[in-house]
Amino acid sequence: MDGMVLGFFLLAAFLGAVTTGVAGFAMGLVVSGIWLHILTPVQTVTLMVSYSVLLQGYGVWKLRHALSWRRVAPFIIGGVIGVPIGAMLLAHINPAHLRTGVGLLLLLYSIYYLARPVLEPVQGGVPADIVIGFLNGVLGGLTGLVGIVVVIWCQLRGWPKDVQRTVFQPVIITTSAMTATTSMTRHRAVSTAMKAQTLLVSEPKTARTAGPRTTTSASRGRSCARSCRRPTATTWSAISPAP
């Protein structure tokens, strides 16, 4: 990583941290626009969710006395199902398509946040919260944007801002932790599979290379044994008595 790339990387991380401190979320929205151009999608997602755990941890600690885990639990349950699916899709998606999709998503969310349409509060429930958690987990595992879906849902529910924070911040930190764990586990599994495949491919070549040498040595050994069992004419003449 050269100096200019490192500078852009640190600048994005700084702006993302400031945004999270002010709004309580949206670090991924800020950093992904830069990191996806200098890092691979897997690296970007892994770094985004890892930093999100660190940044959101401070906010959740400050809100620990106001948290309602009964309200948060359905979102986490949905995320447990959605994150592995998103991580699986990440391993097969074209990086160019991912950058385009994330850019379009950022544009649409920016328009929504600027417009802030006045809507009637949505009446949800536990099943709806689980579905939202699932969609949030899929998007988080695929792009690292672990808070967009649940934040919009909290706004559509019409909850006060303080209540919204006590919901989406714990969901963001748990989804980020699940995404980071899934990504690292999947990376280790893929590395192990690649090493095993390399060994399986190399073993037949080794066997083919060693095979002729082994066959030649065995043939020489059998020839030597036959020669030792059959005395030659010179040997018979040496041990036979003279007439």
Rg value, the chain, Cα: 32
Please, which residues have CB within 8 angstroms of residue 7's CB and are 6 or more apart in sequence?
none
Whether 46 has a pLDDT exceeding 70, the answer reads yes
pLDDT digits (tens, 9 = 90+) for 143-196: 888 888 898 898 888 888 888 888 888 898 888 888 888 877 765 544 444 444
The pLDDT of residue 134 is: 95
Report the alpha-carbon distance of residue 194 to residue 167 in Å, rounded. Answer: 40
Q: Is the dihedral of CA 204, 209, 215, 221 positive or negative?
A: negative
The pLDDT of residue 152 is: 87
Whether 65 has a pLDDT exceeding 50, the answer reads yes
pLDDT digits (tens, 9 = 90+) for 91-143: 788 878 877 887 888 788 778 778 777 778 888 889 999 999 999 999 888 88
List of long-range contacts for 183-188, beta carbons under 8 Å, 24+ apart: 183/42, 183/45, 183/46, 183/49, 183/87, 183/90, 183/141, 184/46, 186/87, 186/88, 186/91, 187/42
- Identify the band that residue 1 occupies on the pLDDT scale cut at 50, 70 and 90: low
- Identify the band that residue 202 occupies on the pLDDT scale cut at 50, 70 and 90: low
pLDDT digits (tens, 9 = 90+) for 219-235: 554 544 454 444 444 34
- State the alpha helices, DSSP H only, in the chain: 3-23, 27-38, 41-62, 69-90, 95-115, 126-143, 148-156, 161-229, 233-239
